[in-house]
């Protein structure tokens, strides 16, 4: 089954895969109109600890000012199925009425639209640092979602010692897991 990879880097790990339709910044993922399930990596800078900008920088930003990328990614998952990935602790969960994971050891209900969320650590899938991540997927039952490595996993290097590109990198095994989730989740008959 083909999958659309939204908000991904041109030439990155989702590029040049036969069964993946990649949408980078130039193509503007907010224009995606289906019909394939999605793996969505909306920008996270305006939702994390430094949403306002660098502590030493002169420019200040508004919380959640991401050009409606997260809102679109959430809509796309709800409309066409798939999975959304964001850093653990993302303020977007609260803004969009999603309940964060209540356990680090499994999927938990996140909303009243058959949404499920969990926390995984990308170091379990090959990331150099401990990189806790929240996932959101829709399924009538979490048993339809693939098994994951739950809980904290140690990384080889501290996250702050990596370059911006290294921190943002999606390890191939994690990419493959997200594609598997997207393919396993079916859209609901009454999806918006």
Q: Which domains does the chain have, with CATH numbers?
A: 3-184 (3.40.50)
**Angle (nearest 5°) at CA 157 between 170 and 88:** 50
Model pLDDT for residues 9-20, shown as the tens digit of each residue: 999 999 999 999
Q: pTM to 2 decimals?
A: 0.86
Model pLDDT for residues 114-168, shown as the tens digit of each residue: 889 999 988 889 888 888 899 999 888 888 888 888 766 777 787 778 888 888 8
Model pLDDT for residues 25-35, shown as the tens digit of each residue: 899 999 999 99
Residue 153's contacts (CB-CB under 8 Å, 6 or more residues apart) are: 121, 123, 124, 130
Is the distance from CB of 130 to CB of 154 less than 8 angstroms?
Answer: yes
Would you tell me how many other CB atoms lie within 10 Å of the CB of residue 160? 7
> Does the pLDDT at position 53 exceed 90?
no
DSSP E strand stretches across 45-144? 82-87, 108-109, 115-121, 132-138
């Amino acid at each position: 089954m083909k999958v659309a990879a939204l908000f991904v880097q041109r030439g990155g790990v989702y590029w040049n895969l036969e069964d993946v339709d990649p949408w980078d910044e130039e193509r503007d993922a907010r224009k995606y109109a289906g019909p394939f399930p999605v793996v969505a990596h909306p920008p996270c800078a305006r939702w994390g600890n430094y949403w306002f900008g660098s502590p030493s920088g002169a420019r200040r930003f508004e919380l959640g000012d991401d050009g409606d990328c997260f809102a679109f990614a959430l809509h796309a998952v709800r409309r066409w199925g798939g999975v959304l990935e964001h850093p653990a602790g993302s303020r977007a969960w609260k803004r969009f009425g999603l309940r964060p994971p209540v356990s680090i050891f499994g999927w938990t209900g996140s909303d009243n639209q058959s949404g499920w969320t969990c926390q995984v650590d990308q170091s379990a899938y090959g990331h150099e640092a401990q990189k806790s991540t929240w996932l959101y997927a829709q399924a009538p039952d979490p048993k339809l979602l693939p098994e994951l490595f739950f809980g904290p996993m140690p990384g080889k290097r501290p996250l702050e010692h990596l370059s911006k590109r290294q921190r943002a990198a999606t390890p191939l095994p994690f990419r493959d897991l997200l594609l598997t989730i997207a393919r396993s989740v079916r859209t609901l008959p009454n999806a918006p």
